[in-house]
Amino acid sequence: MATVNERAELHKTIWKIANDLRGSIDGWEFKAYVLGSIFYRFISENISEYFNTRMHDLGESDFDYAGMSDDLAIGGKTDAVQTKGFFILPSQLFQNVVKNVDNDENLNEHLSSIFRSIEASAQGTESEEKMRGLFSDFIVDSSSLGTTVIKRNMLLAKVLKSVAAMDLGSQYNKTENDTIGDVYEYLMQMYASQAGKSGGEFFTPQAVSELLARIAAWNNPNIQKVYDPACGSGSLLLKFKKTVGRENPNLKYFGQEINPTTYNLCRINMFLHNVNYDNFDIALEDTLLKPQHIDDAPFDAIVSNPPYSLKWEGKDNTILINDPRYSPAGVLAPKSAADLAFTMHMLWHLSEQGTAAIVEFPGVLYRGGDERKIRQYLLKNNYVDTVIQLPDNLFFGVGIATCIIVLKKSAKSDANVLFIDASKLYQKNGNKNVLLPEHQEKIMELYANRKDEQYQAKLVKNDDILDNDANLSVSSYVEQEDTREEINIAEVNSKLEALVAEGRELNSKIESIIKEMEV
């Protein structure tokens, strides 16, 4: 595996290539072509590796799938689709297309045909939904690529050749090798940082994702299913791949996303991290109105960064108050802010021994009205385990300080809520703040110890919180350290006396000068 420095250099090189490629095309729009090409390369080399390994194991050491004829290769389609979830003919492989890319006058049509063929290979099989539409954002005839077919093909050829030149590794069947997935996430992070708010809607910073995964997995060795109802590009789910997933290769990943583009990004991200098609289920639909994983619940771990203050139908939809996800609280989240609707949705999907770690907008911690009633319901039933105040400016497009609410059902050992103030645990990185590993460690230490620690953590009884208007704001319970310098009153008075005396002396000199001028 690549070292940290090697990966850093690889990231810089790849970002420079991606940036140089797009020219005048907006980076947010152009990401589909770079990320799509990386995915195309990955699945091409992945399927080649699959067939090569099988034949080498049978003693055919010189076998090379990429050099095989399509007529012969088609015989392996059924087995490949059943195992890998897709099939690609040798002539359609990325590595073979790139060889002739400069001489292909119909490159755009050629690529479109290949992408349709790859998706069609799964039709009528268990992986059909996992493959459908994966290349839908790779629009080969978009005018943004160029005003003529020739110009578009020139740019597409440039992208394919640049992706072919990237050193992305080749150990596709080894789950510990995340080089391609890591590069993919790095590029998404770079595109998200440039896209501002729109980028923040689909990408959670990796340090925050890792912290949520660690919290949700803490002290629970039996996690079989992890869920994110607002999964975006899948970065939260895939942190489990790098932690719990290493010990449990059969871990199942479930997610739902309303945006078609980020839905595609998430499914691609799963493939690039070697999560086989039968180990993930990502759905495209409105989570609050049309949940797609009711039958898959309950989940052992839930991690999510749902959209902040999203407008939704709320009480205008008379059916929702009887929805078993929302009805226990007796009220619905306000139409102007669906934050606690997502919270109630996740609570319903959580197993009795599971943990949910949710990034929340700070207003839900203290606002009144129906949000207060929902907090009261959560506290009276002892579902709120921990509230963690994060530093501000961690997320793309969001400068405010967010928080993490940790929910549990019957797994709590007390009737208290732990409040952790992590607002000062960060390091500046350009115009953003980041959580370093040592900051994560400190937060996890406070979380695991579950006891008072001056200026950092406070364990508070549920009844006391209810008496305080069900206010879950960390600053209401964790004492703030006074960082002001101690003032020496005697020294200040001495300086004031000196200044007054100096002023008197100056006034006396001014009066003398004026008298001399009058003579």
Q: Are residues 253 and 186 in the same domain?
A: no
pLDDT greater than 50 at residue 334: yes
Average pLDDT value for residue range 488-514: 68
Instruction: Report angle CA 362, 368, 373 to the nearest 5 degrees.
Output: 100
460 within a domain of the structure (yes/no): no
Q: Which two tokens stand for residue 468?
A: 């305080």
Please, which pLDDT band fits residue 172 given cuts at 50, 70 and 90? very low
236 within a domain of the structure (yes/no): yes
Q: Are residues 109 and 243 in the same domain?
A: no
What's residue 226's pLDDT? 97
Given 164, 195, 226, the domain boundary residue is: 195
Cα separation of the two ends of the chain: 92
Instruction: Report angle CA 426, 428, 432 to the nearest 5 degrees.
Output: 100
Q: Which two tokens stand for residue 407?
A: 């929910």
Please, which pLDDT band fits residue 281 given cuts at 50, 70 and 90? very high
Q: What is the DSSP letter of 229?
A: T
Average pLDDT value for residue range 23-34: 71
Average pLDDT value for residue range 311-320: 94
pLDDT greater than 70 at residue 280: yes
* pLDDT cut 70: percent of the chain above it: 84
What's residue 406's pLDDT? 98
Q: Are 315 and 335 spatial neighbours (Cβ–Cβ below 8 Å)? A: yes
Q: Are residues 191 and 204 in the same domain?
A: no
Convert the pLDDT of each residue in 199-225 to its tens digit: 445 567 888 999 999 999 999 888 999
CATH number at residue 332: 3.40.50.150
What's residue 175's pLDDT? 42
Please, which pLDDT band fits residue 317 given cuts at 50, 70 and 90? very high
262 within a domain of the structure (yes/no): yes
214 within a domain of the structure (yes/no): yes
What's residue 492's pLDDT? 66
Neighbour count for residue 135 (Cβ, 10 Å): 22
Convert the pLDDT of each residue in 457-500 to its tens digit: 999 999 999 999 999 999 999 998 775 566 667 776 777 776 76
pLDDT greater than 60 at residue 173: no
- The amino acid that residue 76 corresponds to is G
For residues 236 and 411, what is the distance between their CA atoms, to the nearest angstrom? 22
Q: Which residues pair with 395 in a beta bridge?
A: 398
- Give the residue among 153, 165, 150 at the shortest CA–CA distance from 95: 165
**b/e map 68-88, b = 16+ CB within 10 Å:** beeeebeebeeebbebbbbbb
Average pLDDT value for residue range 259-281: 90
36 within a domain of the structure (yes/no): yes
SS3 letters for 162-177? HHHHCCCCCCCCCCCC
Given 142, 176, 195, the domain boundary residue is: 195
Q: Which two tokens stand for residue 272?
A: 């690039």
What's residue 396's pLDDT? 67
Neighbouring residues of 441: CB distance < 8 A, sequence distance ≥ 6: none
Q: Are 324 and 345 spatial neighbours (Cβ–Cβ below 8 Å)? A: no
Q: Are 244 and 223 spatial neighbours (Cβ–Cβ below 8 Å)? A: yes
CATH number at residue 40: 1.20.1260.30
- The amino acid that residue 156 corresponds to is L
Q: Are residues 339 and 431 in the same domain?
A: yes
Assess whether the previous peptide bond of 306 is cis (omega < 30° from 0).
no
At residue 61, φ and ψ (nearest 5 deg) are -70, -20
**pTM beyond 0.75:** yes
For residues 94 and 117, what is the distance between their CA atoms, to the nearest angstrom? 13
Q: Are residues 58 and 97 in the same domain?
A: yes
Domain that holds residue 69: 4-195
26 within a domain of the structure (yes/no): yes
- The amino acid that residue 131 corresponds to is M
Given 195, 226, 249, the domain boundary residue is: 195
Neighbouring residues of 154: CB distance < 8 A, sequence distance ≥ 6: 146
pLDDT greater than 60 at residue 2: no
Please, which pLDDT band fits residue 407 given cuts at 50, 70 and 90? very high
What's residue 503's pLDDT? 66
Domain total in the chain:
2
- Specify the long-range contacts of residues 150-154, CB closer than 8 Å, at least 24 apart: 152/108, 153/104, 153/105, 153/106, 153/107, 153/108
- 501 burial level (CB within 10 Å; 0-12, 13-18, 19+): exposed
Q: Are residues 299 and 282 in the same domain?
A: yes
pLDDT greater than 80 at residue 330: yes
Please, which pLDDT band fits residue 176 given cuts at 50, 70 and 90? very low
24 within a domain of the structure (yes/no): yes
- The amino acid that residue 389 corresponds to is Q
Q: Which two tokens stand for residue 202?
A: 């689909």
Q: Are residues 226 and 360 in the same domain?
A: yes
Convert the pLDDT of each residue in 120-131 to its tens digit: 999 999 999 999
pLDDT greater than 80 at residue 153: yes
Q: Are residues 10 and 79 in the same domain?
A: yes
Q: Are residues 71 and 155 in the same domain?
A: yes
For residues 454 and 237, what is the distance between their CA atoms, to the nearest angstrom? 33
Structure-derived torsion over alpha carbons of residues 512, 513, 518, 519, reported in degrees to the nearest 10: 70
For residues 305 and 361, what is the distance between their CA atoms, to the nearest angstrom? 10
Q: Are residues 168 and 209 in the same domain?
A: no
Q: Are 95 and 82 spatial neighbours (Cβ–Cβ below 8 Å)? A: no
- Give the residue among 188, 190, 160 at the shortest CA–CA distance from 33: 160
Q: Which residues pair with 302 in a beta bridge?
A: 227, 356
Q: Report how far apart, in Å, the C-alpha atoms of 463 and of each of 236, 420, 427 are.
A: 33, 19, 36
Please, which pLDDT band fits residue 104 given cuts at 50, 70 and 90? very high
465 within a domain of the structure (yes/no): no
Q: Which two tokens stand for residue 63?
A: 């076998």
Q: Are residues 170 and 219 in the same domain?
A: no
For residues 162 and 257, what is the distance between their CA atoms, to the nearest angstrom? 31
Q: Which residues pair with 406 in a beta bridge?
A: 357, 386
Convert the pLDDT of each residue in 347-406 to its tens digit: 999 999 999 999 998 999 999 999 999 999 999 999 999 999 999 988 766 677 899 999
Please, which pLDDT band fits residue 250 given cuts at 50, 70 and 90? confident
Average pLDDT value for residue range 280-290: 97
Q: Are residues 59 and 47 in the same domain?
A: yes
